[in-house]
């Protein structure tokens, strides 16, 4: 988290105060209720959205009709930029996971901002690179690790990005179906793994959330170094 209050990996968190203010001045606020689509796959890209508060899920229906979860976007993130930059259509549907507030920026205004503020262009490039890296990590994890390990890794990836806490514990606010889609597993397999011996003492599952009881233990299972921002 930066001193500005925005996560350092978010689009807004990468910007200086002046560039951040310039971006936010371009948009109009809009409130999106939980489970409400912000944009739909196939629509024209007429605006970008800065997530001022809340979270959204990015999903895509692939050629065989299956639904794929491409990622979770958090407070400070930018969504909808690819269709605007490419002057094309939306390649995914974006749906609110919580009651969220976005700043809606017209495509022409956003493109002008990128030209006038090279810092915003650099932040966009870094954000895009991070998303590609994480997508590749999930893909590599799916090929290399058992489900329990992939779950542990995914929970740490998500906790590092959100830093949400409940009762003093880090919490990942995703349903088991969403976790299954993230790691490329069946929902029943994920349910079984979360109740199994490998994860039983490391996490506590609730409705639509997973509480992280033992971050160092989860990192050992994940074969990762504990992310420093997750450790006291």
User: Which of the four pLDDT bands, split at 50, 70 and 90, describes residue 230?
Assistant: confident
pLDDT at res. 15: 95
Residue ranges of the domains in the chain?
12-131, 145-230
Fold of 145-230: Arc Repressor Mutant, subunit A (1.10.10)
Q: What is the CATH number of domain 12-131?
A: 2.60.120.10
> Would you call 31 helix, strand, or coil by DSSP?
strand
Mean pLDDT to the nearest integer, 108-114: 95
Q: Please write the tens of the pLDDT for every residue from 12-23.
A: 999 999 999 999
Q: pTM for the whole thing?
A: 0.91
Task: Specify the pairing of strand 78-79 against strand 56-61.
Answer: unpaired
Share of the chain above pLDDT 70, in %: 98
Residues counted in the chain:
232
pLDDT > 80? residue 112: yes
d(CA 163, CA 229): 8
DSSP letter for 186, please.
Answer: -
State the DSSP H helix or E strand holding residue 81, giving kind and residue range, or none if neither: helix 81-86
In angstroms, how far is the first alpha carbon of the chain from the final one?
Answer: 14
Tally Cβ neighbours within 10 Å of residue 213. Answer: 15
Q: Bridge partners of 203?
A: 212
pLDDT, one tens digit per residue, over 123-145 is 999 999 999 999 999 999 999 99
């Amino acid at each position: 988290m930066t001193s500005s209050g925005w996560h350092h990996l978010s689009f807004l968190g990468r910007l200086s105060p002046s560039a951040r203010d310039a971006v936010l001045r371009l948009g109009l606020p809009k409130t999106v209720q939980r489970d409400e689509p912000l944009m739909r796959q196939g629509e024209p890209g007429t605006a970008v959205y800065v997530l001022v508060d809340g979270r959204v899920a990015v999903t895509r229906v692939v050629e065989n009709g299956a639904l794929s979860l491409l990622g979770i976007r958090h407070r400070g993130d930018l969504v909808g930029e690819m269709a605007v930059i490419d002057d094309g259509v939306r390649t995914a549907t974006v749906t609110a996971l919580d009651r969220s507030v976005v700043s809606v920026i017209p495509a022409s205004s956003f493109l002008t901002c990128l030209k006038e503020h090279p810092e915003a262009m650099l932040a966009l490039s870094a954000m895009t690179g991070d998303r590609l890296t994480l997508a590749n990590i999930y893909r590599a994890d799916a090929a290399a690790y058992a489900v329990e390990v992939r779950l542990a890794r995914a929970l740490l990836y998500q906790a590092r990005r959100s830093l949400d806490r409940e009762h003093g514990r880090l919490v990942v606010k995703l349903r088991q179906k969403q976790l299954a889609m993230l790691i490329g597993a069946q929902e029943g397999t994920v349910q079984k793994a979360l109740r199994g011996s490998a994860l039983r003492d490391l996490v506590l599952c609730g409705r639509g959330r997973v509480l992280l009881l033992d971050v160092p233990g989860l990192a050992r299972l994940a074969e990762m170094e504990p992310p420093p921002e997750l450790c006291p």
